[in-house]
Amino acid sequence: MSRAITRRAFAGAGLSAAIASPARRYPIIDSHVHVWKKDPKYPWHRDTTDPPEKDATPEMLLELMKANNVERTVIIQVRYYWWDNSYVADVLKQHPRIFHGVCRVNPLDPAAPDHLSRLVEEQHFHGVRLSPAADARGDWIRGPLMMPLWMRCRALRAPMCMLTPVTRMPDVAALVEKFPDLTVVIDHMADCPLDQPKELEKLIALKRYPKVFVKISHTWSLSRQPYPYPDSQEQVKRLYDHFGPKRLMWGTDWPMVEPYCGYAKALAVVRGEMKFLNDDDKSWILSKTVERVWPFS
């Protein structure tokens, strides 16, 4: 994987140079990556049934970032470790100026708010991610443990990231209604199927809350067309029309993107292929929106 990513990094450098704008005056920030390492020091959770065969280390990521002129990145705790955030915590210690981290806590644990406080205050995470499933297994999002966890997020000023299908957006809206001053980020356009455009209205309904942001990632996995994914771009355009660029942010979802288009093209699809975006729009989606949610200063 390292050699393959190295080749992609050099290819990405050429691709980035080809689409670079000499007028750009902002740092490119990736809002969504994962890292992991097969290491007894950082064991997979006992219930992980599909652990990755290859590593995705910060060193590999930094190589790609350098090749594509990406200056900073938000690391999202990967599901293989479940609630053990120790690997990402150690990565954050090593690269505090380059990476911010979003942790996971167990939403079924009454002590989750206290775990979150420790992760934010002692290990310097900048947010938490919840992942309610679409079926009954995710109905905890409507349960009594959500209020104290969201209250703690608000007290800590820690953004709440939601990885959940678009069908859960009404449940998210019910919580946002109670915590309108809490920053909430919807991952991957809520993975709304492109062949169900009416379902996107459930996500668009959140535009009335000014502190809700949307990641326009997963253009590559949602699309049924080849790069540059014109069908996915149409969905991004709808979100752009409703939320505006100041509430949208890009993200690669590396290394999950590698079997699809790779890191460089995940950036190029926003920088060079979304013709409805002007230079100012790109400055927000590629940088300033992420800084609004996760300031690196």
Q: Under the phi-then-psi rule, with left for phi > 0, alpha for psi from -120 to 50, and beta for the rest, what region is 168?
A: alpha
Amino acid making up residue 62? L
* β strands within 21-127, DSSP E: 28-33, 70-76, 99-104
CATH assignment at residue 152: 3.20.20.140
pTM of the model: 0.92
Tens-place pLDDT, residues 174-232 = 999 999 999 999 999 999 999 999 999 999 999 999 999 999 999 999 999 999 999 99
What are the CA-CA distances from residue 226 to residues 219, 221, 235, 265, 288 (Å)? 10, 10, 15, 12, 29
Quote the tokens at residue 159.
């953004």
- Asked if residue 250 has pLDDT above 80, the reply is yes
Banded pLDDT at 23 (limits 50, 70, 90): low
Banded pLDDT at 9 (limits 50, 70, 90): very low
> What's the number of CA atoms in the CB half-sphere (13 Å) around residue 262?
20
Banded pLDDT at 6 (limits 50, 70, 90): very low
Q: What is the mean pLDDT of residues 139-150?
A: 98
Virtual torsion, Cα 20, 15, 75, 219, nearest 10 deg = 100
For residues 129 and 186, what is the distance between their CA atoms, to the nearest angstrom? 10
Q: What is the mean pLDDT of residues 108-113?
A: 98
Quote the tokens at residue 85.
């955030």
How many structural domains comprise the chain? 1
Q: What is the mean pLDDT of residues 44-55?
A: 95
The 8-class DSSP code of residue 287 comes to I
Q: What is the mean pLDDT of residues 140-148?
A: 98
Compute the mean pLDDT over every residue in the chain, rounded to the nearest whole number.
93
In this prediction, residue 33 carries a pLDDT of 98
Banded pLDDT at 3 (limits 50, 70, 90): very low
In this prediction, residue 21 carries a pLDDT of 45
In this prediction, residue 297 carries a pLDDT of 75
* pLDDT over 70, % of the chain: 92
- Asked if residue 20 has pLDDT above 70, the reply is no
> What residues make up the domain containing 123?
2-293
Tens-place pLDDT, residues 232-247 = 999 999 999 999 999 9
